[in-house]
Every structure is written in C-alpha cells, then in structure tokens.
Amino acid sequence: MLPYFELREIPIGGGRSIAAFGLLVAVGVIVGMRFAQSRARTLGVPEDEINVAIAWALIAGFLGSHLVVLITEPQATMHGIRSLAEFWSGMSSFGGFFGALVGLALYFNRRRRVWLVEADILVQALVLGWIFGRLGCTLVHDHIGSPSSFLLAIRFPDTPRHDLGLYEFLYTVLVLTPAVFLLNRHPRRPGTTIWVVALLYAPARFLADFLRHTDLPAPDVRYFGLTPAQYACILLAAIGLGLARRLTFDPPVSRS
C-alpha cells in the first residue's frame, strides 16, 4: 500500500499560499490550450477558430461542472445563493464534459458547420489537461474510496482506502494519453478520437465508482444504487458507440 501524503496549499512567500488543486487545474488548462493550438495548426484549422472554440468549451464546461453538483448533491447548496457563484466549491467532471459539449454545439451550429475535427482536437487537449486535474485530486484526496487492502490503496489516517483520484490519474497517464498519441500517428476519420476516448473512459469510470466510500460523512448520492456519474458513463458509452457506428457505415461529411 502507498503512504498517505496531502498537499492542499503551496507556500509562495510572505505568509501567503496558493491552492495546489487550483494551480494544477490552471496548468492543465494552459497545457490543453497549447496542445489544441498546436494540433489545430497541424490539421489546418484556423487559429482564431480553435481559440474561440476553446473559450466556448471552457466557459460552458466550468458552468456545467458546477451546476451538476448543485443539482445532484443537495449539500452543495447549504450556503444558499452564494454557492451559485462559487464554482470552485464543487465541480463535476461529467458536468464539465457535457457543458463543454453544449457550448461547442451552440457555437458551431450557429456557424452551420460540421465540427468533428475541432471536437477531436479538444478531446485530445482535455485528456492532457486531465492529467493535471486528477493529480490535483490525488494530492487533496477529494475522491476518497472505501476501505481496502489493495496494492495501490493509500494509508489514510483512519484506515487504508481506495483513492479514486489516484486511480484516474494513473489511468489517464497509462491508457488515455498513449491512446491519443497513437491515434495521431496516422490520419484518422474526424470523430475517431471522440468515440475511442469515450469508450475507453466510460467503462473504467463506471466500475471505479463502485469503490466510492459509503462509511464516511456525506457519501456520494446514489439513485437506484448508481451514482450520477455512472448514469453519465452509460450516456457517454452510448454516444461513443453511436458515433463509432456512424463513422464506420456512413460516408464522410464535408466540413464546409
């Protein structure tokens, strides 16, 4: 098992500090943006277009990630109306995914364009940025799991437990990121990255959510035995399967 280590604040001098999680999220956003801009240049996507798409995805993604927490976790609204503005006080990964999807759909539908190329780029950028976000989750331990003697369990102060942030960090580094770079070795039909990443991520996340704790205060909300994230996994897998089928059997569609 792994030793317990926590890093919530990073001293910056003068008696001040910066939140480790927030810093890593910011780094992840910057890394993802830089990758998306580089990849867009490689594929001939105009710089201004990918930058606007990134902005729509980020704004809608952060908004969606917070709103889902407020809707599915009643304790998140205990501070009243103030909690609506404090997006950092609660974020849902799937809320962010689907929020970004809605934002991109609104942007590109207004332009009456097929946007699978841009979506592929942004999904790849998300995977790279996800490394830093889940590293932040690992350092602050905000996804504590059930007690376990598993090899990668962490010796928390009360008892050894799963740490789902750590597991997803490792899965992103060892599975999702290599998949992105393998996909980019050869030209692929636009949309391929979307369905590949969806079908790699959804089953792993669905199974991991069964390891969430139920013996500590404020356990994750469950509906008919499943967490909201697990229902989102089912939807994500359906989207991945549907897109894979469409790209396999339907003729290519022009972007213009």
pLDDT at 115 over 80: yes
pLDDT at 35 over 70: yes
Each residue's pLDDT tens digit, 170-220: 999 999 999 999 999 999 999 999 999 999 999 999 999 999 999 999 888
Q: What long-range pairs does 242-245 form, CB within 8 A, spacing at least 24?
A: 243/191, 243/194, 243/195, 243/198, 244/195, 244/199
Binned at pLDDT 50, 70 and 90, residue 114 comes out as confident
Contact 40, 50 (CB under 8 A): yes
Flag whether the pTM goes above 0.85.
yes
Please report the pLDDT score of residue 84 as a whole number.
46
Q: Half-sphere exposure of residue 52, counting CA atoms within 13 Å on the CB side? A: 12
Each residue's pLDDT tens digit, 45-82: 999 999 999 999 998 888 888 776 666 655 544 444 44
Sign for the pseudo-dihedral over CA of 239, 242, 247, 252: negative
Write phi, then psi, for 226 (nearest 5 degrees). Answer: -120, 150
Cα–Cα distance, 172 to 131 (Å, whole number): 6
Contact 94, 231 (CB under 8 A): no
Please give the torsion angle defined by the CA atoms of residues 66, 70, 75 and 78, in that order, rounded to the nearest 10 degrees: 90
